[in-house]
């Protein structure tokens, strides 16, 4: 275990469904991130939260909606997804998103399949 | 502006032989540099990091990397590959303050042959 826990590990959903991904860390970190990892594509940053405030939205479609109720928890709410949204969704945390020398701790990811 | 280039998309070595995964970076600031490893169906794990201290950085599992400012490189090496090293490796650059970005390389897939 890395200290960052993602649930569920696998998710299959229809295009009309609504589901949520959950990420939890108890490392005392203040920044949390969502990344999308698709086959044969570079890792894509989606959202950044620092001290519970969203500091970056990397032009993500509105069918992805993040929520960060506190520094330990991060959610990604999904609705009316497309098949091309199928990917591994990775959550990460770090000490502070404004300082780049700490490195990230990643969760194991949620493998999402949209059918 | 920052960028990172992993020069090989795939590297194949035999077990017991040295590993070299190449990474070049570009940064307007004094960068922090990282290597992460990802095993199948897992998240990324931090292998090692350079943050302006010693230029030769030792990481977990026998890996090390050398920061060479003149060559803008941060290559990852290991003297002797194990089967368990087969994975994808990502070079990452972060730099500066007030607008720094963390940029991930495209990854290098390491294959280890018995």
- Give pLDDT, residue A76: 98
Which of B43, B52, B103 is the mutation pick for testing A, counting most A CBs within 10 A? B43
Q: Is B55 helix (H, G, I), strand (E, B) or coil?
A: coil
Q: How confident is the model at residue A102 (pLDDT cuts 50, 70, 90)?
A: confident
**B94: nearest CB among A2, A101, A105:** A101
Closest-CA residue of chain A to B4 = A42
List of chain A residues whose C-beta atoms are within 8 Å of the C-beta of residue B46: 103-105
Q: By a Cβ cutoff of 8 Å, what residues of chain A touch chain B?
A: 2, 4, 6, 42-43, 45, 90, 92, 98-101, 103-109, 111
3-state DSSP assignment of residue A80: coil
User: Are the CB atoms for A42 and A61 separated by under 8 Å?
Assistant: no
Q: Cβ contact (<8 Å) for B46 and A104?
A: yes
- Of the candidates A26, A63, A68, the one whose C-alpha atom is nearest the C-alpha of residue A48 is A68
Question: Cα(A108)–Cα(B15) distance, rounded to whole angstroms?
Answer: 27
Q: Do B32 and A101 touch (CB under 8 A)?
A: yes
Q: What's the pLDDT score for residue B29?
A: 74
Q: Beta-carbon neighbour count of residue A52 at 10 Å?
A: 15
Cβ–Cβ under 8 Å, residues B38 and A35: no
**Residue B45 forms beta bridges with which residues?**
B37
Distance CA A89, CA A1 (A): 17
What are B104's strand-pairing partners? B92
Contacts of B98 in chain A (CB under 8 A): 98
Q: Is the pLDDT of residue A1 over 90?
A: no
Quote the pLDDT of residue A25.
Answer: 96
- How far is residue A50's CA from residue A21's CA, in Å, rounded to a whole number? 19
Low-confidence ranges of chain B (pLDDT < 50): none
Question: Rounded CA gap, A39 and A31, in Å?
Answer: 26
| A99 has a pLDDT exceeding 90 | no
Chain B partners within 8 Å of A3 (Cβ): none
Residues in chain B with CB shorter than 8 Å from the CB of A50 are none
Helix (H/G/I), strand (E/B), else coil: B111: strand
Give tens-digit pLDDT for B23-56.
999 887 778 899 999 998 889 999 999 987 788 9
pLDDT digits (tens, 9 = 90+) for A38-97: 987 889 999 999 888 888 888 899 999 999 999 999 999 999 999 999 999 999 999 887
What's the confidence (pLDDT) of residue B100? 58
- Among B57, B35, B77, CA closest to A103: B35
Nearest in space to B15 (alpha carbons), one of B109, B77, B85: B85
């Amino acid at each position: 275990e890395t200290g960052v826990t993602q649930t569920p590990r696998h998710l299959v959903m229809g295009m009309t469904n609504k589901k949520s991904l959950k990420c939890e860390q108890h490392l005392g970190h203040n920044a949390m991130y969502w990344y999308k990892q698709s086959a044969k594509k570079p890792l894509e940053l989606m959202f950044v939260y620092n001290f519970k405030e969203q500091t970056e939205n990397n032009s993500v479609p509105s069918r992805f909606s993040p929520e960060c109720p506190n520094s330990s928890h991060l959610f990604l709410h999904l609705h009316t997804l497309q098949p091309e949204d199928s990917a591994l969704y990775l959550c990460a945390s770090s000490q502070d998103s404004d300082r780049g020398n700490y490195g990230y701790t990643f969760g194991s990811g949620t493998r999402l399949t949209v059918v | 502006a920052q960028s990172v280039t992993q020069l090989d998309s795939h590297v194949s070595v035999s077990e017991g032989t040295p590993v070299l995964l190449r990474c070049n970076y570009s940064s307007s600031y004094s960068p922090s540099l990282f290597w992460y490893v990802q095993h199948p169906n897992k998240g990324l794990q931090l292998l090692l990091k350079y943050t302006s201290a010693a230029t030769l950085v030792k990481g977990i599992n026998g890996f090390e990397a050398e920061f060479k400012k003149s060559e803008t490189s941060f290559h990852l090496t290991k003297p002797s590959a194990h089967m368990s090293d087969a994975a994808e490796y990502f070079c990452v650059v972060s730099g500066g303050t007030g607008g720094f970005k963390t940029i991930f390389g495209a990854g290098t897939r390491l294959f280890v042959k018995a």
